[in-house]
């Protein structure tokens, strides 16, 4: 199991991991009004998720994710295929968030097919990017957010 062999974590160091460029968590996620809006707000995540749940979400983000942040694949009449999160929609168009920096409006009349994807836009494998200590610190920070 992934949790086996993780050292004790430090929430203060975990905050630096969360906000730092190596993990890049705050590019997409906010914590106490700091960070991006592309992924779910993680303020108070420690109230609803245990250490093992947090670890799984970090390492295997596609295992389960918040439905309002579900990745949609949109195929258009001109042969284009887009993947993103629906941010807004009305009878005439949808606004698809393709990345933290880029939204695209798509006319509903040009959509050939739209379906949910079983894959999160959050990159998998953070256990290969972060050291065991950094991962433990990040989890301690998330657990402390109550």
Q: What is the CATH number of the domain that holds 89?
A: 2.30.30
One DSSP character per residue, the chain reads -TTTT-----HHHHHHHHHSTTT-HHHH-EETTEE-SSS---TTHHHH--HHHHHHHHH-TTSS--GGG--EEEEETTS-EEEEEEEEE-SSEEEEEEETTEEEEEEGGGEEEEEE-SS-SSPS-HHHHS-HHHHHHHHHHHHH--
Residue 1 confidence class, pLDDT cut points 50, 70, 90: low
Residue 106 belongs to some domain of the structure? yes
Residues 95 and 60 reside in one and the same domain? no
Into how many domains does the chain fold? 2
Q: For 73-124, how does the pLDDT look when each residue is reduced to its tens digit (9 = 90+)?
A: 999 999 999 999 999 999 999 999 999 999 999 999 999 999 999 999 999 9
**Which domain, by its residues, includes 33?**
11-64+123-144
pTM of the predicted model over 0.85: yes
Residue 2 belongs to some domain of the structure? no
């Amino acid at each position: 199991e992934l949790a086996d062999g993780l050292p004790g974590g430090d929430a203060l160091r975990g905050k630096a991991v969360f906000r730092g460029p190596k993990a890049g968590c705050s590019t997409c996620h906010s914590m106490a009004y700091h960070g991006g809006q592309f992924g779910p707000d993680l303020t108070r995540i420690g109230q609803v998720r245990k250490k093992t749940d947090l670890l799984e979400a970090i390492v295997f983000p596609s295992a389960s994710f918040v439905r309002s942040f579900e990745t949609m694949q949109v195929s258009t009449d001109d042969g284009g295929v887009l993947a993103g999160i629906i941010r807004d929609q009305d009878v005439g168009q949808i606004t698809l968030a393709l990345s933290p920096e880029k939204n695209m409006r798509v006319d509903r009349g040009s959509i050939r097919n739209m379906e949910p994807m079983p894959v999160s836009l959050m990159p998998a494998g953070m256990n290969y990017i972060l050291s065991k200590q950094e991962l433990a610190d990040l989890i301690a920070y998330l657990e402390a957010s109550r």
